[in-house]
Amino acid sequence: MFTYSEKRTECCGRDPWALARPRPAAHKEPIGSPERRHGLRPSPATCGGFTLIELLVSMAVLGVILGGVVSAISSSAQTYIRTEIKSDMYENVRGVAELMAQEIGQAGLVSLPASTLSAAVAAGSQTVTVSSTTSMFVNEQVLVDTGGNEELVKLTAVTGTSITAVFSKAHASGVPLNALGAFPNGVVPPGSTDGSTANVLNLFGDINGDGSLVYVRYTCTPGTAAAPGTLTRSVTTITPGVSAISASQTLLSTIVGGVGAVCFQYTQVAAANFTPLPPSTVNSFVTNVGFTLSVQATKPDPQTGVYPQMTKSFLNLAPRNVLAGLELGNATPGITSRLQATPANVVAY
């Protein structure tokens, strides 16, 4: 008698047709048994493996699928890199634009850190020690004292510890000193000494809002795609007697657009009732600054091998303190007591 497993073994072994031999008459498979269900003559094809053709077709199909997957992944990676390159380029320009907008808006602001008289002062031309001379300079108009004893004096000399001015009133030790108003030339107008140009932006004032006067210079040097230019920035604390400008730092090293391209544009307005204060000789208020930057990416496009480029223009950047000074200069008569002279350092920078 053959069991089912024996018949399967014999089928897939050396004699797959052994099942066709007559069986003893006494041998009967139960109805419903696996032998009766599957029959006694399974096809030899059920015992075979893959043919070479089937294997080749399967490998070809798998190769096509894998090729499509790899292509999709490669395309996605290139798209991601391309997007990242452009995003970095945009973020760099936006960061510079935000910094310039903030500093242009603060240009022309006049203020002093906390400062007081360190000794009593009598009426007349006096030299008196003060707690701090930070942001003080010759020809600056300083408000001394408060209330009914308040007066505005013009400084004729400044040292590291004292100021000299003509006082019309006596003042006690410890009274406060303040500076109010705006610098008409907070954005140094083109045409003046050390004036701004198409590729150099000069501005000064309490730029950081901390009572410290600083002079800021942006220098744009456009280049070409093969040799990009730079945008640099220097920040110099305005200190009496010091005429050296601080070293600049590079903000962007990918400026393109062609050598000689214009980066900065200015809108200038003269005040009707304002006479320029020495050392300035120009009755011109810069009421608006615009700048255009053409830059290229720091990395090439992975697909084309070309460095992407973009041009961003930022217009209507208004120096609000200079605009306030223009309103004072246009008043009738001009309210010049709140318009401050330009520090001598600015002309020397």
Encode pLDDT of 78-126 as tens digits: 777 778 888 888 888 999 999 999 999 999 999 999 999 999 999 999 9
Nearest Cα to 106, choosing from 264, 212, 192?
212
Check: CB of residue 256 under 8 Å from CB of residue 308: no
Q: Is the pLDDT of residue 11 over 50?
A: no
- Examine the pLDDT at 31 and tell me if it is beyond 80: no
Give the pLDDT confidence score for residue 7 in this predicted structure: 46
* 33-82: pLDDT as tens digits: 555 555 545 555 555 677 888 888 888 888 888 888 888 887 777 777 77
Confidence of residue 259 (pLDDT cuts 50, 70, 90): confident
Contact 139, 278 (CB under 8 A): yes
| pLDDT of amino acid 27 | 52
The pLDDT of residue 33 is 56
* Mean predicted confidence (pLDDT) in 336-342: 87
Q: What is the pLDDT of residue 2?
A: 45
On the question of pLDDT at 133 being above 50, the answer is yes
Contact 253, 56 (CB under 8 A): no
pLDDT tens, position by position, 182-227: 999 999 999 887 899 999 999 999 999 999 999 999 999 999 989 9
| Residues 282-309: tens digit of each pLDDT | 889 999 999 999 999 988 888 788 899 9
DSSP state of 101: H
Burial of 246 (0-12, 13-18, 19+ CB in 10 A): middle
Rg, C-alpha atoms of the chain: 43
